[in-house]
Amino acid sequence: MTEANKVLGKTRINWLEQPEKDFPFYDGHPVALSSMQWLSILIAVAVGFACITSEVAILTGNLGIFVRTLLFPAIPLVTLRIIAGPYWRCLFYRLRDVDLGWMLGFAVLNLVVSILVGTLIMKQFGAETNLAVSGLADMDTKERVLFFLRTIPQLFGEEVLTILPFLAILYVAYERLNLSRTSAFLLAWLLSSVLFGLAHLPSYNWNLIQCLLVIGSARLVLSLAYIKTKNIWVSTGAHIINDWTIFAIVLFGSATGGS
C-alpha cells in the first residue's frame, strides 16, 4: 500500500465512500492543477451556464436552444481536457450494474427529501413554480419529446456545474487551507450545493429561501451519488430519474385534471 493510500484509508468516510476510488485533482492525483488552472475551469463553467441562461441571437428556435444546451457541459469539459489532458476522464467510469441501483436509490431518496423539505418550506414561506416545468401541460407531443431530450444534456450540464466547483473547493480547502480531507469534503459538498441552489434563482422567481433550502437540499442528496461512486454518470442518472419523475407527475396531473 502506498503512503497516499495509507493516508486515504485513515481519512475517507468509510460508510459512504467506495474504498477503491478517490476524488480526482484535489491532492495532486492523478495530476496537479494550480489555482489559476482551477480559476480557468470555473470561468468555463460560468460561460457554459451563460449559454443556457442568456439569449444568443444566432442560436434561436429548437435547434439553437439544443445547441446552447450542449454547450453548457461541453465548454467546461473541453477546458478541463485542455488543462488536465487525458486525466479529464477521471470524472467518468464505466457504469456497472450496481451503479444503476445507486442511480435509482439516490433518485428516490432525493424525491423523499425534496417532498419533505418542500412541503415544510411551502407552509412557512410559500413557493414559486418552475415555469419551464409547469409549461409541459400546454405542450403538444412533439414539444414534450423535444423537452425531454433536451433535458438530458442540460441535467448532465447541471452535474458538471456542481461537480467541477466541488472539486475546486475541495482543492482549495485541502491544499491551500490545509483542512483535513473530511473537513474539506464537507465544505465542498455544502458550498457546491449552495451554488447549485443560487443558479436556480431565475427559474424560481428569485425565491432565495426556496432555492437554498429546497433546491440546495436536493443537491446535497444528488451529490451523494457522485461522492459514493466518484462517477459523474451515476449522479447524472440519478438527476435524470428524479427530474423525469417530476415531469411525469406534472403531465399526469394535467391529464387527470383536464379529464
202 burial via Cβ count (<10 Å: 0-12, 13-18, 19+): exposed
75 lies in some domain: no
pLDDT above 90 covers what percent of the chain?
68
pLDDT of amino acid 22: 92
How many structural domains is the chain composed of?
1
253 lies in some domain: yes
83 lies in some domain: no
Write down the pTM of the prediction. 0.91
pLDDT of amino acid 257: 59
CB under 8 A, 24+ apart: contacts of 196-204: 196/158, 196/161, 196/162, 199/49, 199/158, 199/161, 202/53, 203/130, 203/131, 203/132, 204/127, 204/128, 204/129, 204/130
183 lies in some domain: yes
The whole-number average pLDDT for the span 184-213 is: 95
Which range marks the domain in which residue 168 is found? 92-258
Residues 6+ apart with CB under 8 A from 161: 45, 48, 49, 72, 76, 195, 196, 199
Max alpha carbon distance in the chain (Å)? 66
pLDDT of amino acid 7: 44
pLDDT in tens, 98-137: 999 999 999 999 999 999 999 999 888 888 888 777 778 7
pLDDT in tens, 55-67: 766 667 777 888 8
111 lies in some domain: yes
Q: Alpha-carbon distance 254 to 242, whole Å?
A: 19
Q: Is-contact 18 228, C-beta < 8 A?
A: yes
pLDDT of amino acid 255: 64
